């Protein structure tokens, strides 16, 4: 007889201890991950009378329990405390941000045809595309269920504001993803940096920086005017984050980075590095690039991928992207210090500023 699945205990209240003077940025990320993992492990279901559904529940825990940076929940928590709020009040919302990240990644990996995610095979590589899509949908549903708990935690008015932020965010991300998928469908390579900027703001910046910071400030009771100041800060920081991802995909160590190196070339990703290369190389080289990049990933040879990498290094496209990400991070940092100079010095504010620079210094 098949063993019954473990019964899921009720979700316990998490007490997120206020930051001690000794805790550093990376330690805060590790503590955040530890507590978010435990919270989500309690929240996500484990038991069902049907063994097939038990298997679904097991698959739902896969991505959330893998290694991750936990930047999005951390940004939410840090901004909440920097604005005088309580970390416990923001914790449920921070966990919902992590669920959002995971269901988006499952769908994104399918749409890109990726192989690795966080150092392991992508979910669709392990279980097939139909199963993986359904798991992503299941985590999406659980995200809204988790957000509904804010009604009891924070009151209906604040809970509704948070739901509205997630609704706007979801629309933004889907639109940004559609822009990128349309470029692939239309075999479009004549892109500008402005095209890349618009796509990244809609997609990466919205859910990596803008909304997490806004949510932290909202939960702490900040005015709409102060919350809106995170749009400009988050745009610069979020695009810098994506550019750093683009660069790491080309120069990182697979064991550290957690995804296949040069996978963006295999997948035909329109990155800032590639856009710079198209604008810098000769017409003959551009035609050769298109001939390679237009191929489906399964038809691209290793020597062709090396050829593209060689051209990126020849025209210093990787270096250009790295410098651009540094510029954007400096703009985000300067804007934060300018807009929020009135905030008292605190460990939360200090760690947030450190994490801004971590965006471009990270190796994963």
- Interval 80-129: pLDDT, tens: 999 999 999 999 999 999 999 999 999 999 998 888 888 899 999 999 99
Q: What whole-number distance in Å separates Cα of residue 165 and Cα of residue 195? A: 25
- What is the C-alpha separation between 152 and 122, in angstroms, rounded? 36
Q: Determine the Cα angle at 90 with ends 351 and 206, to 5°.
A: 75
Alpha-carbon gap, residue 70 to 3, rounded angstroms: 34
pLDDT of residue 20: 57
CA distances to 115, 233, 237, 269 from 102, in Å: 16, 24, 20, 20
CB atoms within 10 A of CB 194: 9
Per-residue pLDDT of the chain (364 residues; tens, 9 = 90+): 333 444 343 444 555 545 555 678 889 999 999 999 999 999 999 999 999 999 999 999 999 999 888 999 999 999 999 999 999 999 999 999 999 999 999 999 999 888 888 889 999 999 999 999 999 999 999 999 999 999 999 999 999 999 999 999 999 999 999 999 999 999 999 999 999 999 999 999 999 999 999 999 999 999 999 999 999 999 999 999 999 999 999 986 655 555 677 889 998 999 999 999 999 999 999 999 999 999 998 899 999 999 999 999 999 999 999 999 999 999 999 999 999 999 999 999 999 999 999 988 887 7
- Tokens found for residue 363: 């190796």
User: How far apart are alpha carbons 328 and 316 in whole angstroms?
Assistant: 19
Domain assignments of the chain as residue spans, ordered by start: 25-361
Report domain 25-361's class: mainly alpha
What integer pLDDT is reported at residue 119 of this predicted model? 82
Strand partners, 303: none
Cβ 243 vs Cβ 325: under 8 Å: yes
Measured CA to CA in angstroms, residue 89 lies from 40, 86, 153, 163, 227 at distances of: 16, 5, 7, 15, 17
Structure tokens at 275: 């856009």
Tokens (6 digits) for 118:
């966080």
∠249-207-130 over CA atoms, to 5°? Answer: 70
- Interatomic CA distance for residues 218 and 169, integer angstroms: 15
Q: For position 12, what pLDDT does the model report?
A: 43
């Amino acid at each position: 007889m098949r063993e019954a699945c473990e019964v899921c205990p009720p979700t316990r209240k998490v007490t997120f201890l206020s930051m001690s003077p000794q805790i550093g940025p990376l330690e805060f990320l590790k503590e955040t991950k530890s507590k978010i993992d435990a919270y989500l492990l309690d929240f996500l279901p484990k038991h069902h009378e049907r063994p097939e559904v038990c298997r679904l529940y097991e698959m739902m825990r896969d991505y959330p329990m893998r290694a991750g940076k936990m930047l999005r929940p951390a940004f939410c928590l840090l901004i909440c405390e920097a604005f005088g709020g309580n970390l416990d009040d923001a914790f449920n919302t921070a966990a919902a941000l992590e669920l959002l990240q995971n269901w988006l990644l499952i769908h994104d990996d399918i749409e890109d045809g990726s192989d690795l995610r966080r150092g392991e095979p992508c979910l669709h590589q392990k279980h097939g595309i139909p199963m993986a899509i359904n798991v992503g949908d299941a985590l999406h549903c659980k995200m809204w269920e988790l957000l509904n708990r804010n009604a009891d935690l924070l009151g209906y008015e604040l809970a509704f504001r948070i739901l509205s932020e997630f609704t706007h965010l979801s629309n933004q991300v889907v639109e940004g993803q559609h822009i990128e998928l349309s470029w692939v469908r239309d075999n479009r390579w004549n892109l500008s940096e402005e095209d890349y900027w618009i796509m990244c703001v809609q997609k990466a910046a919205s859910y990596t920086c803008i909304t997490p910071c806004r949510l932290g400030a909202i939960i702490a009771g900040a005015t709409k005017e102060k919350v809106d100041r995170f749009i400009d800060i988050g745009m610069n920081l979020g695009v810098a984050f994506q550019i750093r991802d683009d660069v790491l995909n080309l120069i990182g160590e697979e064991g550290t980075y957690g995804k296949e190196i040069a996978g963006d070339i295999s997948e035909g990703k329109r990155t800032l590095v590639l856009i710079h290369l198209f604008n810098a190389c000769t017409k003959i080289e551009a035609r050769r690039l298109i001939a390679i990049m237009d191929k489906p990933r399964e038809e691209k040879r290793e020597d062709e991928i090396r050829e593209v990498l060689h051209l990126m290094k020849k025209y210093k496209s990787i270096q250009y992207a790295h410098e651009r990400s540094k510029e954007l991070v400096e703009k985000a940092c300067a804007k934060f210090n300018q807009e929020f100079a009135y905030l008292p010095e605190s460990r939360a504010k200090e760690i947030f500023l450190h994490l801004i620079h971590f965006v471009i210094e990270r190796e994963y």
